Amino acid sequence: MFNLTGKTAIITGGGSGIGKAISLLFGAQGAEVHILELNAAAATAVVEEINAAGGKAFEHAVNVSNQEEMQQTVRAIGKVDILVNNAGIAHVGNLENCSAEDFERVYSVNVKGAYNALYSVIPLMKAQQNGVILNLASIAAQVGITDRFAYSMSKGAIAAMTLSVARDYIASGIRCNSISPARVHTPFVDGFIAKNYPGKEEEMFAKLSASQPIGRMAKPEEIAKLALYLCSDEADFITGNDYPIDGGFIKLNN
C-alpha cells in the first residue's frame, strides 16, 4: 500500500520542515521527487539524502511567486503525477501590525505561489487525464488565531482554491485536497521562540505545545504520512476535502 513507484512528484518548499518530511517519505515510497525551493542549499541536502537512501530526487532553484520560473521548471520536468503545494511563509501580527509590504510578501508566496504551481501543472495533468494535488492549508483557515491576520488570509485562499480546482477538474481525472495542520514543531517554531522569548525558550515551547488538546505539537513526519495517503492510489475516491491534523484543536479547544 501507498507505493508511489513510477510517479513523479513536485514538492514546493521541500527543503525544510513539513516539505522536507514529505519529500523524504515520498522518495522512500518510490516517487521521483522534484523539490522546488528558494533555498538551494536546503534542497541539495534533502535531495542527497533521498538519493543516498536509494531513491531518485532532483532540486530546482525556483521562486514560486515568479510564474515564468515556475512554468519553465514544470516544462523541464515534463511529467507530473503529484503536486504538493507546500511552500509558504508566516507573519505574526494583527491587521494593524500588518503593513502593505507584509501583506504583499505573504500573498506573493502563499497564495500566488500556489496559484503559479497549479497554473503550470494543471495542463499536464489534463493531457494525461490523471493527477493528484495536495495543498497545505492550516487550521487558521477555519478558526480565529490571534495575531495571524495575513497568514490566515493566505490559508483561507488555499482552502478556496482547493475546492475550485477539485470541482473544475474532476472530469479530467484530477483530484485536489488540502490538509490543515495545527502547530508543527519545525525549525521556524524554534527560531520564532528564540527570537521573541530569549531565555524563556523551554517555557514558551511548553506553553505553545499545551495550546493543543493532545498536549504537544505535531511532528513533520506525521503530516507527511497524511500527505502520502491522500496522494496515493489508495485515496482515489477522495477529492475536494480538507483534512485537519491538529491534535483536537478545532473541535476540542473549548
The residues carrying an active-site annotation are: 151
Nearest to 106 by CA among 71, 153, 138: 153
Residue 172: what residue type? S
Give the SS3 label for residue 83. strand
Which pairs with CB-CB distance under 8 Å and at least 24 residues apart come from 188-195? 188/17, 188/90, 189/217, 192/90, 192/92
**Looking at the DSSP assignment, which residues form a beta bridge with residue 34?**
10, 58
Phi, psi of 85 (to 5 degrees): -85, 90
> How far is the CA of 29 from the CAs of 22, 54, 55, in angstroms?
10, 11, 8
Give the SS3 label for residue 25. helix
- DSSP string of 87-152, one letter each residue: ------B-GGG--HHHHHHHIIIIIIHHHHHHHHHHHHHHHHT-EEEEEE--GGGTS--TTBHHHH
Nearest to 142 by CA among 19, 24, 242, 217: 242
